[in-house]
Homo-oligomer: A and B are copies of this chain.
Amino acid sequence: MQTKKQDRIADNSPKLMNTYRNFPMVPRVVFGNGSFNQLGEILLPKRKHFDAPVIFLIDDVFEGKELVGRVPLLFNDKIIFISADEEPKTQQVDALVEKIKFDFRELPSGIVGIGGGTVLDLAKAVSILLTNEGSSEKYQGWDLVNKPAIYHVGIPTISGTGAEVSRTAVLLGPDKKLGINSDYTTFDQVVLDPELCIGVDKKQWFYTGMDCFIHCVESLSGTYLNAFSQSYGEKALELCKEVYLEDLSDNESREKLMMASWHGGMSIAYSQVGVAHALSYGLSYLLGVKHGIGNCLVFQYLKEFYPEGVALFNKMKEKHNIELPSGICSNLSDNDFDTMISVALSLEPLWENAIGIDWKCVITPEKLRVIYQKI
């Protein structure tokens, strides 16, 4: 039985079922308050020459802020500010790639993403599309990228998505929300500077942290789990509990949440998310609801699937006086519901992880509709 399960849990992609993923880890990481100051030194040996710039994609909340002055610009490097108001889109990736190719004679020496999940996923996708032909939607899926990406660096400024360590770049495409899952997606370098998270909006802090919490709950109770992912997931969950239920100092809280996000992202190596992420993808796809809040909106109604997790979630929500918006789905048409349900149901590995191989006997469109209607 153990072996049977081990076989199935080996991988979270539909492709490799009887082998274990040879997981790409971020090969370089620096951690510490103020470690952002080392970025210039880190980039120096990666600079090819004068004409090959480093492109910094930066969350536009930092426009005009002190952080921008600390970006180690050299030669013809360029900063592009990115709005994180919406989920990252395939067209956005394609437009950025086109612009970079138009503006510079040479391919960049590197792409640096400074921001939350949106900016980090864009940075990963842009670095891939600079060396791989065609539109980014072509690469949404598993292991469709053929050529190594441009050297890319991830610098999170909010914690929880795990985007800094994962091998996916989740994009909204014309007909699906799906990640570019590939070994070339993973960042070549990550800078974990907890001080960059000072000043994050409280609601954002909660929603994004809950992204980590929820995905740990989903992966730890999933059928795909193995000991590798379990150990990372357990540590991430424990850190989330410390951050959201205990009374830590601001500094300790920032440091621990950054590590929670890191371990949570690592736990995905041999695990998979579940019901909340599947339903949240539907919400994002139809309504552009952002991933973090989308997960929260869905998760509160998933007591049937994750009783303990939902109880803890409610405790955290209460402790931090977070009120989730309601009535999001109240004016939707039948057609709208069908769209969300069909996006959610298309994420088969998530359902199989959450419920097991026979998930189709348990999960029906009607059941999902009832949940969406509550939101």
Residues of A participating in the B interface, judged by any CB pair closer than 8 Å: 2-3, 6, 10, 19-35, 38, 42, 189, 192, 194, 226-228, 231-232, 234-235, 239, 251-252, 255-256, 258-259, 263, 269-270
Look across to chain B and name the residue whose beta carbon is closest to the beta carbon of A258: B227
A22-B38, A25-B26 are contacts. A31–B226 as well, Cβ < 8 Å?
yes
Check B2 against A20 for contact (C-beta < 8 Å).
no
Look across to chain B and name the residue whose beta carbon is closest to the beta carbon of A229: B31
> Which B residues touch A24, using CB under 8 A?
27-28
Within the complex, what minimum Cβ distance (angstroms) separates A211 from chain B?
Answer: 18
Measured CA separation A186–B194 after assembly (Å)? 26
Look across to chain B and name the residue whose beta carbon is closest to the beta carbon of A255: B227
Check A27 against B29 for contact (C-beta < 8 Å).
no
Check A23 against B19 for contact (C-beta < 8 Å).
no
Within the complex, what minimum Cβ distance (angstroms) separates A259 from chain B?
Answer: 4
Check A6 against B33 for contact (C-beta < 8 Å).
yes
Measured CA separation A227–B34 after assembly (Å)? 14
Look across to chain B and name the residue whose beta carbon is closest to the beta carbon of A16: B38
Check B20 against A38 for contact (C-beta < 8 Å).
yes
Check A28 against B22 for contact (C-beta < 8 Å).
yes
Look across to chain B and name the residue whose beta carbon is closest to the beta carbon of A38: B19
Look across to chain B and name the residue whose beta carbon is closest to the beta carbon of A227: B255
Check B231 against A235 for contact (C-beta < 8 Å).
yes
Within the complex, what minimum Cβ distance (angstroms) separates A229 from chain B?
Answer: 8
Look across to chain B and name the residue whose beta carbon is closest to the beta carbon of A239: B231
> Which B residues touch A189, using CB under 8 A?
22
Measured CA separation A225–B192 after assembly (Å)? 16
Check B22 against A42 for contact (C-beta < 8 Å).
yes
A2-B251, A38-B22 are contacts. A259–B227 as well, Cβ < 8 Å?
yes
